[in-house]
Structures are given as C-alpha cells and as structure tokens.
Amino acid sequence: MTFEPRVLRSRPARTEKLFHRDGSLLRTTARVVEVQDNFVVLDRSIFYAESGGQEYDTGHIDGIAVVDVQDQGGRLLNCRGTRVAIPPIKIDTVIVHQLAAPPPFEPGQQVELGVDQARRSNLTRSHSAAHFLFHAARTMLGTAEDPLYLKGCHITENACRFDFFGVFSAEQAAEVEARANELMAQGGPIAMIPSEVSDEVFYWVWNDVVIPCGGTHVDDAASLPKLKISRSKKGAQLTRFKASFPDL
C-alpha cells in the first residue's frame, strides 16, 4: 500500500470503527473524507483493517471492489487493564481502503459500503479458534516463572498460526491441539467486553478466559470446528504452531 497520509487535505482525527460496535453490520453508508488515486478515507467504516494478526476485509464501496484495508496514523496507547494486562496498542487510527480502480468520489459524498460476508465469517471463525489455541498453548507450555512469549501471529480465512519463543516438540503440539479442541467442544458464549481505557480496546471473554483483542469473533465456541495443528521450527529458539480446519 503506497498511500501517503501526509497529503490529506482534511485528515480526520480518526475513522469511526463500526465493526467494534456491531460485528454483524455488513452494509451501511459513510461520507468520503479524502480520495488519492485508488485510496479512500471515510468518516466511518465497517471494513476491518488488517491488525492483531487478522487479515483485512474485502467488499465494495459504491460497487467498486475493496482489495486492501489498512490502519494508518493514530497513537500508541500504553495502559493497564483491570482484567488482564493490555499490550501497547495503536488507537485513533485512520482506515485507508484500497480500491480496484480509481473512484469518482468527492470529499463529502455519501457512499454505500458492503463487506464480503463469506470472507468476514471465515476470518471471524479463524480468529476465535486462534484464541483457544493461544490459551491452550499458554497454559500448557508456559509457567508463572517462565511464561510463553509470542513473536507474532497470522489469521487467515482457513488457518491461524503463532510463532512462539522456545523449542517445543511435535508431542507438545499434539497436546495443545487436543486441549484447544476440548475447550471449544465445551461451547459457551464468547463476549467482546469494552475496556475501561478506550472504546477501541476490548476484552475477549469465554468462561474465565480473558484476552485483550479488537478483532471479530463468533458468538459461541460451539460453532467452531476442530483444529489440526502442525509444528515447525523457525529458528534456533522459535517454534511455529499452525492450525487448520480439516473438516471444512
């Protein structure tokens, strides 16, 4: 993405992120703030911008395909959560939508937004399953004295992966897989609870498991399919767990 935010003539303080208020909202309208080549900034958006490992939404704006969505700008929030620790997170960002072709939009114009429902649903499923994988790995492979540290993660429509610091065996990966599947099979509601520090920071809550997250998620763990975890080494002290959904 080659969008240059410094040339915005009327840069908004932030884009209102409607997916935080209602993850099921897939159609709405918004007003154009700025257009630059194939890039569009709106006053509000239902498109999830790539963040937290979760890939971006696709869809259309006034019939023109949206092919990429990214956060830009914003400020880094360092804070303490009352439920669990919250890592540093960018908030008050501007969402930049990349379209398949230069649009004929003008600032102030109202446009119609539509998110690709199938892709959003798949990403939502993968992200929710990823939290169960992460929780199982953290509780089984880490300790209070030596917690499990994460280098990075990636959440796609059909898989999710975590890169953990440490050396873990195939047997340990199989144990994490079994535990994650056991937890998901228990079912139960998943809630996204707003934090006390920002309207862009949320707690993902299932039973007594609490994880800071601003992604999109299913409403009940019972809807999640079984995971199959593969393990690979990504360095002397780095192990990747990649989960796919073989029954889909």
Which of 74, 91, 116 is at the close of a domain?
Answer: 116
Tell me whether residue 9 is in a domain: no
Tell me whether residue 10 is in a domain: no
Tell me whether residue 31 is in a domain: yes
109 and 141 in a common domain: no
107 and 141 in a common domain: no
Which of 88, 116, 144 is at the close of a domain?
Answer: 116
Residue 11 confidence (pLDDT)? 56
Tell me whether residue 224 is in a domain: yes
Interatomic CA distance for residues 136 and 116, integer angstroms: 31
Which of 116, 138, 172 is at the close of a domain?
Answer: 116
Show the domain range for 147.
Answer: 120-244
Q: Tell me the pTM.
A: 0.92
Of 196, 192, 197, nearest in space to 213 by CA: 192
Domain count, the chain: 2
206 and 233 in a common domain: yes
Tell me whether residue 235 is in a domain: yes
Residue 196 confidence (pLDDT)? 84
Task: Give residues with Cβ within 8 angstroms of 70, minimum separation 6.
Answer: 1, 3, 49, 50, 56, 95, 96, 98
Tell me whether residue 7 is in a domain: no
Residue type, 4: E
158 and 90 in a common domain: no
* Domain CATH code at residue 105: 2.40.30.130
Tell me whether residue 70 is in a domain: yes
204 and 92 in a common domain: no
Residue 12 confidence (pLDDT)? 59
pLDDT digits (tens, 9 = 90+) for 130-146: 999 999 999 999 987 88
162 and 76 in a common domain: no
Residue 139 confidence (pLDDT)? 96
* Domain CATH code at residue 207: 3.30.980.10
List the chain residues with pLDDT less than 50. Answer: 6-7
Tell me whether residue 1 is in a domain: no
78 and 126 in a common domain: no
pLDDT digits (tens, 9 = 90+) for 200-247: 889 999 999 999 999 999 999 999 999 999 999 998 899 999 999 999
148 and 61 in a common domain: no
Residue 7 confidence (pLDDT)? 42
159 and 77 in a common domain: no
Interatomic CA distance for residues 244 and 66, integer angstroms: 26
83 and 53 in a common domain: yes
106 and 86 in a common domain: yes
203 and 125 in a common domain: yes
Number of alpha carbons in the 13 Å side-chain half-sphere of residue 2: 2
